[in-house]
Amino acid sequence: MNKSHLSERDICTKFITPALRQAGWDEMLQIREEVSFTKGRIIVRGKLVSRGKAKRADYLLYYKPNIPLAIIEAKDNSHSVGDGIQQALEYATTLDIPFVFSSNGDGFVFHDRTVTDGTIETNLALEAFPSPDELWARYSKWKGLTPAAEKVVLQDYFDDGSGKSPRYYQVNAINAAMEAIAKGRDRVLLVMATGTGKTYTAFQIIWRLWKAGRAKRILFLADRNVLIDQTMVNDFRPFGSAMAKLSTRSKTIERDDGSKIDVTLALDKKRRIDTAYEIYLGLYQAITGPEERQKLFREFSPDFFDLIVIDECHRGSAADDSAWREILDHFSSATQIGLTATPKETEYVSNINYFGEPVYSYSLKQGIRDGFLAPYKVVKVHIDRDIEGYRPQKGQVDRDGEEIEDRIYNQKDFDRTLVLDERTKLVARKVTEFLKESGDRFQKTIVFCVDQEHAARMRQALINENGDLYAENSRYVMRITGSDNEGQAQLGNFIDPESRYPVLVTTSRLLSTGVDAQTCRLIVIDREVGSMTEFKQIVGRGTRVHEDTHKYYFTLIDFRGATNHFADPDFDGEPVQIYTPGPDQPIDPPVPEPGEEDLPGEPGGTVLIDPCVPPGGTTNGEKQKKIYVDGVPARILAERVEYLDEHGKLITESLRDYTKKALRSHFASLDDFLKRWKAAQRKQAIVEELAAEGLELDTVAEELGKDLDPFDLICHIAFDRKPLTRRERAENVKKRDVFTKYSPQARSVLDALLAKYADEGVLNLDDTNVLRIPPLSTMGSVVQIIKSFGSKDGYDQAVRELQSALYRDIA
Torsional sign, CA 250, 252, 255, 261 = positive
Task: Give Cβ neighbours of residue 704 (< 8 Å, ≥ 6 apart).
Answer: 655, 656, 717
What's the pLDDT at 782? Answer: 82
Q: Report how far apart, in Å, the C-alpha atoms of 717 and of each of 205, 657, 679, 708 are.
A: 51, 8, 21, 11
Q: Report how far apart, in Å, the C-alpha atoms of 645 and of each of 377, 566, 657 are.
A: 10, 13, 12
User: pLDDT by residue (tens digit) across 619-646?
Assistant: 344 456 888 988 888 888 777 777 766 5
**Which has the minimum average pLDDT: 99-113, 338-352, 587-601?**
587-601
Amino acid at 531: S
User: pLDDT by residue (tens digit) across 140-171?
Assistant: 999 999 999 999 999 999 998 887 889 999 99
pLDDT surpasses 80 at 668: yes
User: pLDDT by residue (tens digit) across 381-436?
Assistant: 888 888 888 899 888 888 889 888 889 988 888 888 888 999 999 999 999 998 99
Amino acid at 743: S
For 280, the 3-state DSSP assignment is: strand
User: pLDDT by residue (tens digit) across 103-117?
Assistant: 999 999 999 999 888
pLDDT surpasses 90 at 589: no
Q: Is-contact 557 431, C-beta < 8 A?
A: yes
Q: Provide the pLDDT confidence category of residue 694 given band limits of 50, 70 and 90.
A: low
Report, as an integer, the average pLDDT of 201-225: 91
pLDDT surpasses 60 at 663: yes
Report, as an integer, the average pLDDT of 284-298: 78
Q: Is-contact 714 667, C-beta < 8 A?
A: yes
Is pTM beyond 0.95 here? no
Amino acid at 90: E
pLDDT surpasses 60 at 725: yes
Q: Are strands 444-448 and 376-383 parallel, antiparallel or unpaired?
A: unpaired
Q: Provide the pLDDT confidence category of residue 687 given band limits of 50, 70 and 90.
A: confident
